[in-house]
Copies of this chain bind each other. A is one copy, B any other.
C-alpha cells in the first residue's frame, strides 16, 4: 500500500489507543514512531506526572509545543501527540501542515477501562476520575471536532484500527479533486472497500440524518453490504425507486419529496444517490431543489455513472417532451467511485457504459483509445475487476472539462456530447425502451464519425477503428431506419439548438474533436 510521504499524526483523548496503534502503524509501514509525551520525558529526565506536580500545566504545554515542532522536523514518521496538544491552535495548525492528522475516539467506559490499568495520568489523578474525564472531554470536544478524519476505536483490536487508518490514508492517494473554487470536491477511487464510506461521509458532512435514494436492482445486490455499516452510524431514510429512465420524471420527484417531508428530511440531512445515472440525476435534482438545496453525495454504481453522470453537477429529470429538459447545476460534496459495484451490473448495462468510455477516448485521448483497442476483451471478461485505471482516466477528462467549462458556456463541455445529438433523438424516437443510452450514443458516434470525414477531415480508416472498437465491445453501430422528418422533429428538441443550428461534435482525428454549428437540415 503506497502512502503519501507525510507524517501520520494520531491525536485523541487519553486511553483512545494512540500509542499502541501508532506503534503498530509504524511497524507495518517501516517508519519511525514518536510519542511526544515520551520525548518530553526523555528530554527533561522527568515523567509527565512529575512535570505537572513540580511546575504547572502551562510549563508542560510549552515543552509539548517544542516536542511537536521537533517531531515534525524528522523524516516521515508516525507521531502520537498528547490528549491536550491539539487544543492549542498553533499546534494543530503545525500538525495539519506537516501531515495527516487522525483523531482516535473512544467512549467514556472504554477510556476509563484503558486508563485504569495505568497510573500515569496526572489530569485524572485523585478522586472521581470519571467526573474529571467527563469534564475534560467536554472541554476538549470543540477542538477535537475540528479534525476532519476521525476513527472510533471502541471494541476494535489494535491491528484492526491500524489497518483502517492505512486504508483511509491510501484513499488520499486514490483521490481526484474537481476544482471549482469553494465548490471543489473529491472523487474517491475505491476497490472492495465499501465499508470506508461512512468514515468518508463523516469527513464531508456533520449531520446525523441521511436520505438514501436507490433503485430495486442496486438494493438487491448491495442493500445490505452498503447500507449495513451506514445504518450503524447514521439515521437512514431509504427511498427505493423502480429502475430505469421511466423513473426520471416530475411525478416520481414529487413522490420522493412527499416521502422526505414525512421523514422530516431537513437542511441537516445529506442525500446519498446510490445507483446509476437515473438515480444520480433524479436524487441530485431533488437535493438541489428540496428546501432550495441540501447536501448531496454521489455513489455511482454503474459504469456510465462512474465515468460520466455522477461527475460535474448536472442533475435533472425528463419531460414527456424530451430528456433532461429540466434540471440544475448542483455539485455533490464528493463522489465515491467503488469498482466492485460494477461486478453485478447486467452485461448490457456494463457495455452501455463502455460507449461513454470509448467516447472520452475518441474526443480527447488517442492513447486511451489504443489501450481500449488492446484491452477490450480483458475488460469485458473481468467485468468490474480491472477497469479502475480506465474509469479514472475518463474521470480525469471529465473533471478537466467541468473545471474549465462548468456550465457549458464555452463550447468545451459540449464536446462531451459527441454522438449524443443523434443518440438522444434515437432514444426519444424509440421511447427509451429499445436501446440503452450507451447503445444509442454508439450509433450516434458512428454517425458523427462518418460526417466528420467530409466536415473535419477524419481519415476513413479511423472511422473504421471506431466502428471496430464499438463492435468489439458489443455495441450497435448502425441505427435503425427512421423517416427523415421524424428524425428532424426529434433533433429540433435538442437543448443545444440555437434557432435552426445544432452544435454538432465532429472528430478531426481520434483524440481530437471540434464543435461546429451545423444547420438542422445539414445534419441528416
Chain A residues with a Cβ under 8 A of chain B: 250, 253-254, 257-258, 261-262, 264, 266-268, 285, 288-293, 314, 316, 319-322, 325-329, 407, 492-493, 495, 497-499
Contact = CB atoms under 8 A, between A and B. Distances in A.
Contacts of A292: 314, 316, 327-329, 407
16 contacts: A254-B319, A257-B321, A257-B326, A258-B319, A261-B319, A261-B325, A261-B493, A266-B498, A285-B289, A289-B289, A289-B316, A291-B326, A292-B314, A292-B316, A292-B327, A293-B328
Contacts of A407: 292-293
A413 to B, nearest CB: 12
A291 B409 CA distance: 13
Contacts of A499: 266, 268
Contacts of A253: 250
Residue among A326, A493, A497, A498 with the highest chain B CB neighbour number at 10 A: A326
A325 B259 CA distance: 13
Contact of A326 (B290, B320, B497): B290
Given A290-B326, A292-B316, 19 more contacts: A250-B253, A254-B319, A258-B320, A261-B319, A261-B321, A261-B325, A261-B493, A264-B492, A266-B497, A266-B499, A268-B498, A268-B499, A285-B289, A290-B325, A291-B325, A291-B326, A292-B327, A292-B329, A292-B407
A520 B492 CA distance: 53
Contacts of A498: 266-268
Nearest to A329: B292
Dominant secondary structure of chain A at its interface with chain B: mixed
Contacts of A288: 328
Contacts of A250: 250, 253-254
Contacts of A264: 492
A514 to B, nearest CB: 21
Residue among A292, A320, A497 with the highest chain B CB neighbour number at 10 A: A292
- Per assembly, the copies of the chain total 2
A262 B322 CA distance: 11
A293 B325 CA distance: 10
A291 B321 CA distance: 12
A258 B322 CA distance: 10
Contacts of A285: 289
B258 A321 contact: yes
Contacts of A257: 319, 321, 325-326
A422 B291 CA distance: 18
A416 to B, nearest CB: 14
Contacts of A293: 328-329, 407
Nearest to A254: B250
Given A250-B250, A261-B322, A319-B254, A267 B495 contact: yes
Nearest to A496: B267
A202 B290 CA distance: 34
A460 to B, nearest CB: 35
Contacts of A321: 257-258, 261-262
Contacts of A329: 292-293
A431 to B, nearest CB: 17
Contacts of A325: 257, 261, 290-291
Contacts of A266: 495, 497-499
Contacts of A326: 257, 289-291
Contact of A289 (B327, B492, B497): B327
Nearest to A262: B321
A405 B333 CA distance: 21
Nearest to A264: B492
A126 B493 CA distance: 50
A451 to B, nearest CB: 23
A262 B316 CA distance: 20
Contacts of A493: 261
Residue among A285, A319, A329 with the highest chain B CB neighbour number at 10 A: A319
Contacts of A291: 325-327, 495
A267 B499 CA distance: 10
Contacts of A492: 264
A277 to B, nearest CB: 15
A262 B407 CA distance: 24
A321 B325 CA distance: 26
A290 B292 CA distance: 16
Contacts of A290: 325-326
Contacts of A262: 321
Contacts of A495: 266-267, 291
Nearest to A408: B292
Nearest to A288: B328
A281 to B, nearest CB: 11
A400 B246 CA distance: 44
A476 to B, nearest CB: 28
Nearest to A321: B261
A91 to B, nearest CB: 29
Nearest to A268: B498
